[in-house]
Chains A and B, each alone.
Chain A
Amino acid sequence: MVKKTGQSELSQPLRQVVADAWTFRFNVEREAAIRFARLAKRLEGIGALPTVVEMTVRASHDEGRHARHCADLARRYGAALIPEEISAPEIAPPGLGDRERVLYEVVAACCITETESTSVLTSLFNEATDSRMHLILRQLLRDEVGHSRLGWAHLAHESTRGDVQYLGRLIPNMLEVYAQDGLFGAAPTELDAPELLSHGVLPHSMKRSIFNMTLLEVVFPGLESLGVPSGPAREWLVRRTAPAAQAL
């Protein structure tokens, strides 16, 4: 049931967790807006499908709007929100050609990150009890579906133009940011509180579970279906989810 509630039932430590999460997302969305604006030009330059270029331009605008939503929510939970300088540098490894560099970044940003974000938003949307939160999450989810799709569309198109198998051994590099962000490590108790869910934040263990399931059910099969071997990424996931790795 969707109802109109405030955030007063949260303890101060949990309120801070929620404020931090929406602040982090505020910066993520700002970075994504810059990245999509750059990628739109790069995609046009390499002769990508016009539809994909249009979707990427739209994605840049969407992310700017998302950043404003995240900022509103961060402030609602008490964040001071002092905007930092944001950049979105290219992430492809050296040694790739122009077309391959663009494809690498689109796969990382869309096929992986936006697909994972769609999965997270789906879970949050289903759990939202606050009417305003519900409305915002619905808008974000609708847009993120488009952002993920543009990546799969570009990968599909590129797979018809040449060999994309080389990406297989590079996928773990794209995934490693999630490990660096502490997803596979132990988290403080407050980060795993179930109360976070109705405030648009996944408890840590649930976030990890959804991340893994999305890789196994969506991303890896998607890559395989379009000619990108998922073996190295599957091996990376096994290593990262091993008990010894989680204890680090």
Chain B
Amino acid sequence: MQIRKLFRVLVAGGAIIGGVVACGGSDKSQGQTSSPTTGGDGGTNPDGGMPGGGGTYGW
């Protein structure tokens, strides 16, 4: 399974379970930037006063 195929298998497959058809793929979103409602600070100093939060380790 190639990485490019994972969008279809994981995202589109999951979205269908969730009742949504996910459009796009590897050639969509390239070069897209933050929407006007999001900060461009990478989450380190969000406008909404919600700093912190973490992630989970994987393989």
Contacts and interface: CB of A to CB of B under 8 A. Distances in A.
Contacts, number: 218
A117 B7 CA distance: 14
Given A149-B10, A236-B42, A157 B54 contact: no
A28 B38 contact: no
Contact of A96 (B7, B11, B13, B50): B50
Interface stretch (A5-13, A191-199, A210-218): A210-218
Main secondary structure of the interface of B (DSSP, over half): loop
B3 A153 contact: no
- Residue in B4, B37, B50, B54 with the greatest tally of chain A CB atoms within 10 Å: B54
Contacts of B42: 169, 172, 232-233, 235-236, 239
Q: How large is the interface on A (under 10, 10 to 19, 20 to 34, 35 or more residues)?
A: 35 or more
Given A120-B59, A152-B15, A234-B33, 15 more contacts: A49-B19, A91-B54, A93-B53, A112-B55, A112-B56, A149-B14, A153-B14, A153-B16, A165-B38, A169-B47, A218-B6, A225-B22, A231-B32, A232-B38, A232-B43
Interface of A: 25, 28, 31-32, 35, 49, 51-52, 55, 91-96, 104, 108-109, 112-122, 145, 148-157, 159-160, 165-166, 168-178, 181, 210, 213-214, 216-218, 220-222, 224-226, 229-236, 239
Interface of B: 1-4, 6-7, 9-11, 13-20, 22-26, 28-30, 32-35, 37-44, 46-59
